[in-house]
Structure 1
Amino acid sequence: MPRRLRLPSSLCASVALVAGSVAFVAAPATATPPSFEQCADVFPAAELETGQEVSGLTTAGRTRGSEVEPEGFTGTFVDTLEGDDGDLLVFDLAGSRITKADGSIDAGVWSGMSGSPVYAADGRLVGAVSYTFGSFEASTIAGITPAADMYALLDGDAVEAPPERIALSTKQTKQLVAAGASSRELGKGARRIAPVSAITLPEKFAAGYATIAKRAGAPSRDLATGGTTSTDAAPIVAGGNIAAADSYGSLASYALGTATAVCGTEVVGFGHPMDFVDAQRTIHGARTSFIQADGVGSFKMGNLGAPVGALTHDGLAGIVGRLAQDVDATTITSTAARSGKSPATYTTKVPNPDALAELAATHAFRDAVLAQDQMGGGESVVSWTVEGTSTETGTPITLRRGQRYSTRADLAERLGNDVASDVATLQENEFATLDIDDVTIDDTLSSTYKALKVGTIDRYDTASRTWKRVSTSKAIPAPRGKQLKLRINLVKADKYSKATPTSVISTLSVSRHAVGTGRLLIAGGDQPSWDDDEEFSFEDSAPWETDAFYFEDEEDDELTIPEKKPTSAEGVAALLSKQQRHDYLYVSHDYITGSVGLLNVDRKYRQASVVKGSVRLRVSYR
């Protein structure tokens, strides 16, 4: 019996495996895989002997049929690392894409191999591949989560597991080397093998997607160029692929690893957590495309099959899923077209409500880029509808909103912000728990940047019957009981804008009881809600919780407009639907009357371009 090694208490941060450019790698032919029970009995870890040979199953997709059918690999037991967080069995592996035919390292232990079952000679399950060693190059040394810990997940038991990274002391490294491990492959210790955490986006979309994920407070997944999720199911078998998905369809977001055992309708895999959060997700089989040998960052690429069940637990020692269990999912339907071109429509199912805002934003972003065939600026006229149901009362809740955007750069990235913020605000409303059923986005784009801004202001003087220029440093005279007539001149927002300048006539009635000094705000609807360098998230605040929603009124100002906070989930949807549009010019006149007190008069004027800028004026009554 080998001596058991204690895990050190010092831990390093986890290392993310990022997929870069990919290339196909030739591989030797593989032998027919050994046959094992789908739900094999447990081989006690305490009975392992140094040098004991084992067999394993994984899916490398090297030949026709092997993209879903497991192939075999072999291994030799090295030693056991024992710790308060759980035991880790150390093996030296070979075969499949781990090593080449001559025994030299090929891809080593790759990302996505986690969960691959390892069996003793009598067919009992030793455990699941979950860790790899080595810091600077591929390694054949793997850590195995014991089978007993994996099966404990099926019973709902709390299972401890080793941490994300294990730093080995010099003494422990020497002991592993003495037991047969390579000191070069051991590197600085063991790190948990990450599942392939991917979203189906081209590599060029990386920066925009990373920004969206950050704003959503979500982990940024690796980008994987791929098609839509297959409508055909791929089988989930021991040693085969298993994926847990936040979304599937046109835009798939998922973690891909390997199934360890299939026990009736329950599946256990990965050998470590996905996100360590019991989120509502679907499980899928998948077809392996290839294994990318990339040194210490080797990884598996695959295509999801149709959903076949539900993720029921995301625990320290692995994930658990139940086959044939239905999962409710929100449908995102996104249609995007460049002006004058045929539209393209994309559909995605999102079972995880916590990922809905992120994925709605990503959809709007991706589809706009695809429609424009560029990542630049331009103009977008978009509308979206969010439909949900109160889980308590069954009351339907609907938000409908439209918007115009025009920017010199990064147009597509901006499109998703408002959609995602509306979704997040509805989900987080304080009045009712909502199931969001559908999110529909309809976008028409052009490459022309068109923006106006508020320029000069003229007042019509009834005595001279002429327009007179208004000075922002002086109060505008307004006759009580009559009308204040203004001409607002809209000019190009900057030298790059292709918008046509125009003037807007706004006529405001003034009460004969007006007193004191009033104020006048003339503003374009396209006002910045955050600074370019300021961080924000989709859940930062509802629009009625920001000063901008009230034209930045001060609490101690006697002209402050009373807050218009909602009192129900329906009210939340209604206020969100009425948010200001960027292509409106807004005129707001606030003043005090001796008869009714505070009086507010608002006007809005739709324009053919977005309108920026604002002017604040004082009004005196005579």
Structure 2
Amino acid sequence: MRKANRAGRWSGAALAAALVVLPLPAPPVGAAPQFIPVSQIVPGMTGIGRTVFLGTTISEFRVTTLGVLPDAGPAGDLVLFRASGPAIEAAGGLAAGMSGSPIYFGGRLAGAFSYSFPFADPMVGLFTPIEDMLNGVSWRSRREGPRVVAVAPFSLGGRTIRRVVLGRSPDARPDTSDPLLAYHWSTPRLDRLSIGFDDGTAVAVPAATPLFVAGLGPAAAEAMGETFRPMGLIPMAGAAMADLPDTIPLEPGSAIGVALMRGDVAAYAIGTLSYRDGDRVLGFGHPFIGLGHSGFVLTNATIFQIVRAQQHNLKVGAAGSPVGTISQDRPAGVGGVVGVLPRMFGVRVAVHDDDAGTTRQFRFQVVGGKDLAPFLVAMGTHGVVDRALNRSGEGTAEVRMTLHGRMLPREVERTNIFYSGSDITGQALSEVPEALDLLFENDFADVAPTGIEIDVRITKTRQTATITDAELPQGPASPGETLRTRVTVRPFREAPVSRDIELVVPEDFPAGGAMLVVRSGGVAPAEAGPGGAAGSGGPGVIRDLAAAITQFESREKNTDVVVELVAGARGAASPADAERSRVSTRWTTRWILSGRFQAPIMVRRGSR
């Protein structure tokens, strides 16, 4: 097993090893701090919290308990507290990015900061007891607790609070499936989280987790935001991952990063380490994205500044060197191991701008699971192509994709040419989802995906053509007969080009009415055969991984003129007839084509 190092290496057994370490048992004597159970916590107790306000130095702040909210959290109780002291007052209070800051009473670990009150007093928050974090990450999370919890009265933003409602994310309102809560939430006074259901009720939500994104353009960053914001993440432009030494001590109170992407494109959250027992760690006190079993990159981190804001303050920082794996993402927190890195999915994108005479290459990695990798790859590739072009609009793009997987029989490659009059980046990458589907979601085998290479050559020159004429044979046709069709295409602002294309009618082609079609490639034919079969432009009948690979590599391209003979409904009445009810041939040109001609034709029974 390889250990983490600054070169960012990892072994194939890394994730498996991480999952073996969890669930977490009780810590060995002397290896982890002593705990204080929530049953011993009462209002008025004073203790300390530990977090990083600047750089990598851990600082302390004072904590005074206000009460215990029984069974209020996703894994058990929550503890209400007020923070104070010079360091946290100078920072403006609790902040997004402090999630996981450990809290101690009498030197014993009580839990980790996890919930805050948006638009209210930033000195008041909730922490998740450490025993619930251990149990929640180690085993299964408990049911959600009551939506409204009575508390001993305390002051919050000039109001006296007697009830607390637990929301699900910083941008989400509480679940209103309960008719009473729905009625209260719909009243005009309740248009903001800080107002709550009445003057004596406050809403607490998981402490916001900033998701810093670097290397993406505005469109890709916004798309990422739409996906992750409902999970409680706050996507925002961030710095590239910092070049921090991996020897920085990682201890409770240290700033940590949890990365989804790293390299020339990065996406990571900033939080705080709550607990460490040898190589095993816990953090956040609430979920990251709630994935359950996961394989995120654990990094050290540095804090640049804490920015004050009306809704919630914000720790601004950067993730650093990979130091481990977050292998559990549960309602009560995240857990993992230090020293073993997860398996990642590698992406290389090369963009050749023929007009500018430049070539730019980008490399990044994304978490390797099928739940996130396809989306992250799509967002990342779109972002780096936009960066390389530094423009949008019209263009022609030649794209070559090479797919890698440990269980693939060989490298899988596909090339095609695309044109768009308004968004060449989006059009050029339109087949990337299909490639990722083959790697992550094919029906036949786990190919253990390891990476994808995408080479894009783009020019503003328009390389399109239209099929302007097709001289189709009259018929009738017989099995074994060669049908000759003369096809004329007119390239954009060039002279027309004609070619004779021959198509042989198979001996077993169904007799009866059929349709002879001339069309541009890269689009599904108008009629699909029964049983899921389709022509060469559609998915076809795929029975195993080898066929899926062949179909991906060799299916029609946008530069193809396709001549196909399609049997009528009676000729393809069953799945058994589907494959023989359609036959086609192609003429591959150098232009992206459009246009379609078709005519009916009879096919005789038997040979000529």
**Range of TM-score over shorter length:** 0.7 to 0.9
How far, CA to CA, are the matches of 2:156 and 2:218 in structure 1?
47
State the partner residue of 1:615: 597
How far, CA to CA, are the matches of 1:381 and 1:619 in structure 2?
37
Deviates more, 1:259-268 or 1:85-94: 85-94
State the partner residue of 2:490: 490
State the partner residue of 1:79: 67
1:56–1:116 CA contact under 8 A, matched in 2: yes
Say which SS state the counterpart of residue 311 (structure 2) adopts.
Answer: helix
How far, CA to CA, are the matches of 1:117 and 1:313 in structure 2?
19
State the partner residue of 1:175: 153
How far, CA to CA, are the matches of 1:56 and 1:209 in structure 2?
36
1:517–1:619 CA contact under 8 A, matched in 2: yes
State the partner residue of 1:403: 416
Report the CA distance between 1:485 and its aligned residue. Answer: 3.7
State the partner residue of 2:516: 520
- Which of these residues, 537, 548, 551, is aligned with residue 575 of structure 1? 551
How far, CA to CA, are the matches of 1:193 and 1:287 in structure 2?
19
1:603 and 2:585 matched: yes
Report the CA distance between 1:609 and its aligned residue. Answer: 2.8
1:74–1:93 CA contact under 8 A, matched in 2: yes
State the partner residue of 1:565: 541
1:426–1:569 CA contact under 8 A, matched in 2: no
1:552 and 2:527 matched: yes
1:325 and 2:310 matched: no
Say which SS state the counterpart of residue 62 (structure 2) adopts.
Answer: strand
How far, CA to CA, are the matches of 1:380 and 1:219 in structure 2?
37
How far, CA to CA, are the matches of 2:195 and 2:216 in structure 1?
34
Say which SS state the counterpart of residue 575 (structure 1) adopts.
Answer: helix
Say which SS state the counterpart of residue 411 (structure 2) adopts.
Answer: strand
State the partner residue of 1:150: 133
Report the CA distance between 1:580 and its aligned residue. Answer: 1.8
1:228–1:250 CA contact under 8 A, matched in 2: no
1:196–1:256 CA contact under 8 A, matched in 2: yes
Report the AA paired with residue 128 of structure 2.
Answer: T
State the partner residue of 1:316: 331
Report the CA distance between 1:97 and its aligned residue. Answer: 6.8
Deviates more, 1:248-257 or 1:562-571: 562-571
Report the AA paired with residue 362 of structure 2.
Answer: Y
State the partner residue of 2:352: 337
Say which SS state the counterpart of residue 430 (structure 1) adopts.
Answer: coil
1:559–1:598 CA contact under 8 A, matched in 2: no
1:380–1:589 distance in 2 versus 1, CA, 3 Å: same
2:93–2:122 CA contact under 8 A, matched in 1: yes
Cα root mean square deviation, aligned = 3.9
Say which SS state the counterpart of residue 382 (structure 1) adopts.
Answer: strand
1:108–1:295 CA contact under 8 A, matched in 2: no
> Could you give the per-residue CA deviations for residues 558-579 of structure 1, whole angstroms, max 9, x where no partner exists?
9989984333323322211122
State the partner residue of 1:496: none
State the partner residue of 2:500: 506
State the partner residue of 2:57: 69
How far, CA to CA, are the matches of 1:385 and 1:143 in structure 2?
49
Q: How does 1:190-205 map to 2 (within 5 A)?
A: 190-202=204-216, 204-205=218-219
Report the AA paired with residue 316 of structure 1.
Answer: P
Say which SS state the counterpart of residue 114 (structure 1) adopts.
Answer: coil
How far, CA to CA, are the matches of 2:467 and 2:362 in structure 1?
38
How far, CA to CA, are the matches of 1:70 and 1:253 in structure 2?
24
1:365–1:415 CA contact under 8 A, matched in 2: no
> Could you give the per-residue CA deviations for residues 575-605 of structure 1, whole angstroms, max 9, x where no partner exists?
111222112222223469x9x9968653322
State the partner residue of 2:9: none
> Could you give the per-residue CA deviations for residues 489-545 of structure 1, whole angstroms, max 9, x where no partner exists?
3365xxxxxx64633313325669997544222221243xxxxxxxxxxxxxxxxxx
Report the AA paired with residue 496 of structure 2.
Answer: T
State the partner residue of 1:113: 98
2:215–2:264 CA contact under 8 A, matched in 1: no
Unpaired runs of at least 5, structure 2: 1-29, 162-192, 197-201, 572-576
- Which of these residues, 113, 132, 135, is aligned with residue 129 of structure 1? 113
Say which SS state the counterpart of residue 396 (structure 1) adopts.
Answer: coil
Report the CA distance between 1:364 and its aligned residue. Answer: 2.0
How far, CA to CA, are the matches of 1:450 and 1:487 in structure 2?
18
Deviates more, 1:477-486 or 1:278-287: 477-486
TM norm structure 1? 0.73
State the partner residue of 1:438: 451
> Could you give the per-residue CA deviations for residues 43-92 of structure 1, whole angstroms, max 9, x where no partner exists?
2333334333221111222xxxxx22222222221111112652111111
Report the CA distance between 1:150 and its aligned residue. Answer: 2.6
Say which SS state the counterpart of residue 448 (structure 2) adopts.
Answer: strand
> Could you give the per-residue CA deviations for residues 278-297 of structure 1, whole angstroms, max 9, x where no partner exists?
12222111122322322214
How far, CA to CA, are the matches of 2:485 and 2:157 in structure 1?
91
Report the CA distance between 1:129 and its aligned residue. Answer: 0.4
Report the CA distance between 1:314 and its aligned residue. Answer: 1.7
How far, CA to CA, are the matches of 2:69 and 2:338 in structure 1?
34
How far, CA to CA, are the matches of 1:167 and 1:231 in structure 2?
43
1:383 and 2:400 matched: yes
How far, CA to CA, are the matches of 1:526 and 1:69 in structure 2?
57
Q: How does 1:171-320 map to 2 (within 5 A)?
A: 172=150, 175-177=153-155, 188-202=202-216, 204-206=218-220, 209-210=223-224, 222-228=235-241, 230=243, 232-233=245-246, 235-276=249-290, 277-320=292-335
Deviates more, 1:234-243 or 1:330-339: 234-243
> Could you give the per-residue CA deviations for residues 217-237 of structure 1, whole angstroms, max 9, x where no partner exists?
999861423225647435432
- Which of these residues, 368, 382, 385, is aligned with residue 385 of structure 2? 368
Report the AA paired with residue 118 of structure 1.
Answer: I
1:146–1:400 distance in 2 versus 1, CA, 3 Å: same
> Could you give the per-residue CA deviations for residues 270-321 of structure 1, whole angstroms, max 9, x where no partner exists?
0011122212222111122322322214322322222211223222211111
1:42–1:516 distance in 2 versus 1, CA, 3 Å: closer
State the partner residue of 1:347: 363
1:117–1:126 CA contact under 8 A, matched in 2: yes
Report the AA paired with residue 605 of structure 1.
Answer: W
State the partner residue of 2:460: 447
State the partner residue of 1:103: none
State the partner residue of 1:8: none
1:221–1:330 distance in 2 versus 1, CA, 3 Å: farther
Q: How does 1:30-109 map to 2 (within 5 A)?
A: 39-61=32-54, 67-83=55-71, 85=73, 86-95=76-85, 98-100=88-90, 107-109=92-94
1:447–1:96 distance in 2 versus 1, CA, 3 Å: farther
1:586–1:266 distance in 2 versus 1, CA, 3 Å: same
> Could you give the per-residue CA deviations for residues 383-405 of structure 1, whole angstroms, max 9, x where no partner exists?
11111123xxxx63432101212
Deviates more, 1:250-259 or 1:183-192: 183-192
Report the AA paired with residue 361 of structure 2.
Answer: T
Report the CA distance between 1:146 and its aligned residue. Answer: 1.1
Say which SS state the counterpart of residue 41 (structure 1) adopts.
Answer: coil
How far, CA to CA, are the matches of 2:460 and 2:470 in structure 1?
31
1:416–1:74 distance in 2 versus 1, CA, 3 Å: farther
Report the CA distance between 1:610 and its aligned residue. Answer: 1.5
How far, CA to CA, are the matches of 1:52 and 1:563 in structure 2?
66
Say which SS state the counterpart of residue 577 (structure 1) adopts.
Answer: helix
Deviates more, 1:39-48 or 1:401-410: 39-48
State the partner residue of 2:177: none
The percent of aligned pairs where both chains have the same amino acid is 20
How far, CA to CA, are the matches of 2:456 and 2:482 in structure 1?
44
1:109–1:138 CA contact under 8 A, matched in 2: no
Report the AA paired with residue 327 of structure 1.
Answer: P
2:527–2:534 CA contact under 8 A, matched in 1: no
Deviates more, 1:199-208 or 1:50-59: 199-208
